A and B are shown apart, each in its own frame.
Chain A
Amino acid sequence: MFEIFGIPSQALFGQLLLGLINGSFYALLSLGLAVIFGMLNIINFAHGAQYMMGAFAAYLLLQYLGLNYWLALVIAPIVIGAIGIVIERLFLQHLRKLDPLYGLLLTFGLALVIEGLFRNAYGSSGQPYQVPPALQGGRNLGFMFLPNYRAWVIALSVVVCFATWFAIERTRLGSYLRAATENPVLVRAFGINVPRMVTLTYGFGVALAALAGVMAAPIYNVSPQMGSDLIIVVFAVVVIGGMGSIMGAILTGFALGIVEGLTKVFYPEASNTVIFVIMAIVLLIRPAGLFGRRA
């Protein structure tokens, strides 16, 4: 036990850890938003609702089918991602030639519908979800206590984020994807099915949100409104980072989580608003965002 700037190390590192956890979710969600935006030119307002659906999927799988956390971690993203694909086919594909604003409005409407349906079915109070047995408990690192589940969330999030980055920036499929973002007509002329790629990209982005939801279920309560407040913060993260780069989205997500955690230690009253304040400052100094390219 020692002190840093008059703050006990336990409190400081504890909040840093919490910040890193939040940052994991910011990174996963802003990454999904960036991937979807790159391909569809749509800001997916339903991202928060889809994250919430992921958490509920984990809860329902356990409650009604007795399937544990590890299975939910695989099944929920697939199921919710499939729902995303249906949404793209039913609604979003009709908006391709319109102003991107209509995509925002439509997904906003979808978010309301989804949240309303879940509130009808499960009320507004949260449902608890147990940490899986294998990850219960924690270890003492000497300067702080590290719960196993939290360490797992951070590790998994880092792995998923970098795997996504690798897939998009360093593989052949990713290069098709980036080419189709730049010039869809030309890529189609090479015999690549761009509309299918768009659909699958949306499904993948939604699956990322659902995965984040499953990971969040044991940490936060599973509740219908868990996504809507989070998504607004993630929007601010996206504005700060700029959506030009995948790596930018990931790094900004983690960094802002840590900043938020530190704010909780030094000036708790501002912890809710610090990200928005940073957004305002970034807009003043570098309007295109930290990693953005000027449009």
Chain B
Amino acid sequence: MAAALDRSADKYGRKSGRSLAVAFAVMVALFAIGPFVAYPIFLMKALCFALFACAFNLLIGYVGLASFGHALFFGWASYVTAYAAKTWGFSPELAIIAGVAAAAVLGLVVGSLAIRRQGIYFAMITLALSQMMYFFALQAKFTGGEDGIQGVPRGRLFGVFDLSDEMTMYVFVVVVVLAGFLLIYRIINSPFGEVLKAIRENEQRAISLGYAIDRYKLVAFVLSATLSGLAGSLKALVFQLASLTDVHWTMSGDVLLMTLLGGLGTVFGPVVGAFLVVAMQNYLAPFGQWVLVIQGAVFVVCVLAFRRGIVGEIARLLRVAL
């Protein structure tokens, strides 16, 4: 894992600050002109997944822990938000907080179990636990089983902004996603983030230096789960729907693909990957099951020939950190 990850941020030193700032400005500019050239609902979907993939990348890219069960946090947060908004009549901000809190609690429980094993066992444990919660979602009353929770009201944000207006919703989604993105950036560049990278590079060494690595891993896991939950909660409001699709293991596969395609351990990779995968699913939808085949093929190509991902390759060519 560690060998393929991009360490250009450390290698290129100060120059990287400028390239990151430029890339961030470009990204914000694209988000600003986005709704004038594409469907807002499509963009909002891609933005939610961008946040989801960034949160996922925090774990796989910076701690080297590959979770195969992140749909669990995304999907359950979206269920809780949808239920809170629809049945309890929560305002959108409170409904989102409820969903995110649920994801954090689940992250704490799943994380403390999963970090007991490393590597591929970690992947299998997270997958198994997320499948377990999928069955709960299927059988529980409040999730609506096969129907999901439909017709979730978007409501008025802080009692002021009417989110049923598509543009207002779009601005809200952009603001939340950018805040999440900057928070993740802050985390990976903090002293805490440096320890995470040390664990990724050489776990034994980090232990011998006296770091309580289990605690670091658990905190990183909970952060990743919480932010994945934020993405799921947003998605529930955007589509006014929470369904079994969001908790199914294919969703965990999707977010893994987005991160891998964009570039593991890059700052902007997950965003690029999310937009590409969502666009692909959108345009290939008429071709039915071929989406699955193409996604699988992209996985294979990425692993065999393209382990840095798109953003990772660009960063290497330009010799900057992205």
Contact = CB atoms under 8 A, between A and B. Distances in A.
A98 interface: yes
Nearest to B294: A116
A104 B296 contact: no
A31 to B, nearest CB: 16
A272 interface: yes
Nearest to A242: B121
A222 interface: no
A273 B136 CA distance: 8
Contacts of B113: 280, 283-284
B141 to A, nearest CB: 12
B3 A99 contact: yes
A161 to B, nearest CB: 21
Contact of A279 (B123, B128, B296): B128
Interface stretch (B153-161, B226-234, B283-291): B283-291
Nearest to A124: B289
A232 B300 contact: no
A273 B296 contact: no
Interface string B278-313: 000000000011111111111110111001000000
B258 interface: no
Nearest to B65: A101
Contacts of A233: 128, 131
A287 B117 CA distance: 7
Contact of B300 (A110, A277, A283, A287): A110
A112 B249 CA distance: 12
B12 to A, nearest CB: 24
A239 B121 contact: yes
B303 A280 contact: no
Contacts of A235: 124, 127-128
Contacts of A99: 1-4, 119
Interface in A89-117: 91, 94-95, 98-102, 104-106, 108-117
Contacts of A247: none
A283 B256 CA distance: 25
Contacts of A76: none
A109 B290 contact: no
B299 A239 contact: no
B304 A94 contact: yes
B3 A104 contact: no
A114 B299 CA distance: 13
A188 interface: no
Interface string B257-270: 00010000000000
B120 A101 contact: yes
Given A110-B296, A116-B292, A284-B113, A105 B127 contact: no
Contacts of A284: 113, 116
Contact of B303 (A109, A238, A272): A109
A105 B124 contact: no
A229 B130 CA distance: 12
B135 interface: yes
B283 to A, nearest CB: 16
A115 B125 CA distance: 23
Contacts of B198: none
Contact of A98 (B4, B131, B249, B297): B4
| A112, A277, A280: residue with the most chain B Cβ atoms closer than 10 Å | A112
| B3, B256, B289, B295: residue with the most chain A Cβ atoms closer than 10 Å | B289
A283 B125 contact: yes
A232 B131 contact: yes
Contact of B1 (A101, A106, A116, A238): A101
A155 to B, nearest CB: 29
A140 interface: no
Contacts of B136: 273
B26 interface: no
B132 interface: yes
B71 to A, nearest CB: 12
B139 interface: yes
B304 A106 contact: yes
B145 interface: no
| B3, B289, B296: residue with the most chain A Cβ atoms closer than 10 Å | B296
Contacts of B302: 105, 109
Contact of A113 (B125, B296, B303, B307): B296
B290 A116 contact: yes
Contacts of B118: 295
Nearest to B110: A280
B296 A105 contact: no
B120 A100 contact: yes
Nearest to B305: A94
Interface in A209-239: 228-229, 232-233, 235-236, 238-239
17 contacts: A100-B120, A101-B119, A105-B260, A105-B299, A108-B299, A112-B253, A112-B299, A114-B296, A116-B289, A117-B293, A119-B292, A120-B289, A120-B293, A235-B128, A239-B128, A272-B138, A284-B116
Given A99-B119, A108-B256, 10 more contacts: A105-B260, A108-B299, A109-B302, A112-B295, A116-B290, A119-B288, A232-B249, A239-B121, A272-B138, A283-B113
Interface of A: 43, 91, 94-95, 98-102, 104-106, 108-117, 119-120, 228-229, 232-233, 235-236, 238-239, 269, 272-273, 275-277, 279-280, 283-284, 287, 295
